[in-house]
Amino acid sequence: MKSSLIIELASRPRRNRKNEGIRRLVRETAVTPSDLILPLFVVEGRDQEIPIESMPGCFRLSPDRILGIAAEAAALGVPAVALFPALEEGLKDPAASESWNPDGLLQRTVKMLKGEFPELLVITDVAMDPYSSDGHDGLVRDGKILNDPTLEILARMAVSQAEAGADMVAPSDMMDGRVGFIREALDRSGHAEVGILAYTAKYASAFYGPFRDALDSAPKSGDKKTYQMDPANSREALREVLLDEAEGADIVMVKPALPYLDVISAVRGATDLPVAAYNVSGEYAMIKAAASQGWLDEEAAVNEVLLAIKRAGADMILSYFALDFARRCQ
């Protein structure tokens, strides 16, 4: 072997990787706490911090504890939280009627948060599943998930969240006509300033398992394949983008994030609306599980994942790692 061989090469990409100085200058993408939205699980009570087994480091928190975490998130520069209520089984029914209770757990939490932190953006989910005794996102009749009859429920839910002070509502059931119907309901009830973060391309994914554990919201029968998208499809995502845009969405979202980077990129190219991506519970659990075995460096893996999602075209990322990441940026 001749170790002194030097060849003439006009282009040597390694020159731009030579030291941290040049690497910083040529870096194309950066993630900051400003890009992140922190999802939080709310549970009834005081001083409650109930661990979620399949999401180590995440908890179901009572509203007073939510305030504490939100204060920390805001201080670290995380601009938004997304709230998901974990209800006791006794409050669930087939029509999800607890979802529009003005004194419901979610509504009280939103009121409290907005009272304390008016500048923190509060996003609420509009879907029946956390409130439904069937564990589905829509009304169920004879084993079928009904599209149109569910709309009135979603409109009531969204308006009730807006009255509580939510800044944005996030219809997440992936059924048809949601964004337009909710937009109209919000406008008619005097909530034209409340935005819509549309779950535009949400796939029927295996990566939601830990979230369903957190809320005890897994479907009691069947699956969600008649409403959530087939993981095999990406052109269909663009069709959903056009519809949500026409119906008045303010932000479009792709979910999950990591297995769908191509979809994030395609959606970015198809719309001028801001694009969000949801780094979901299963993506969180995978990293946590591997890191706890010593098989992955958690910090490095999280940084790489968030960066990849941003590089693919997401303007903002919902992530259970948001707080950890923001703490490290201090």
Q: Tokens 């079928």 belong to which residue?
A: 144
Q: Residue 260 interacts with ligand PBG (CB under 6 A)? A: no
Q: Kindly list the distances between the CA atom of residue 91 and the CA atoms of 48, 133, 215, 272, in Å, as whole numbers in the listed order.
A: 19, 9, 13, 41
Pull the structure tokens for residue 267: 């959606």
Q: Residue 179 interacts with ligand PBG (CB under 6 A)? A: no
Phi-psi region of 143 (alpha: psi -120 to 50; beta: other; left: phi over 0): left
Q: Residue 125 interacts with ligand PBG (CB under 6 A)? A: yes
Question: Which of 42, 127, 128, 36 lies closest to 83, judged by CA?
Answer: 42
Region binding ligand PBG by CB under 6 A among candidate stretches 57-65, 125-133, 141-149, 152-160: 125-133
Task: Count other Cβ atoms within 10 Å, centred on residue 44.
Answer: 17
Q: Check the CA dihedral 213-141-177-226 and report its sign.
A: positive
Q: With contacts defined by CB under 6 A, how many residues of the chain interact with ligand PBG?
A: 12
Site for ligand PBG in 37-66 (CB under 6 A): none
Please tell me which residue in 92, 224, 255, 310 is annotated as part of the active site: 255
Residues pairing with 40 in the sheet: 83
Q: Residue 114 interacts with ligand PBG (CB under 6 A)? A: no
List of residues 6+ apart from 50 with CB closer than 8 A: 43, 59, 60, 61
Q: Residue 129 interacts with ligand PBG (CB under 6 A)? A: yes
Q: Residue 127 interacts with ligand PBG (CB under 6 A)? A: yes
Q: Residue 208 interacts with ligand PBG (CB under 6 A)? A: yes
Q: Residue 280 interacts with ligand PBG (CB under 6 A)? A: yes
Please tell me which residue in 202, 224, 288, 310 is annotated as part of the active site: 202
Least CB distance to ligand PBG at residue 76 (A): 21
Q: Residue 211 interacts with ligand PBG (CB under 6 A)? A: yes
Measure the CA–CA gap between 317 and 36, rounded to whole angstroms.
5
> Is 202 tagged catalytic?
yes
Enumerate the active-site residues.
202, 255
Q: Using CB under 6 A as the criterion, which residues of the chain lie in contact with ligand PBG when the complex forms?
A: 125, 127, 129, 137, 172-173, 208, 211-212, 224, 280-281
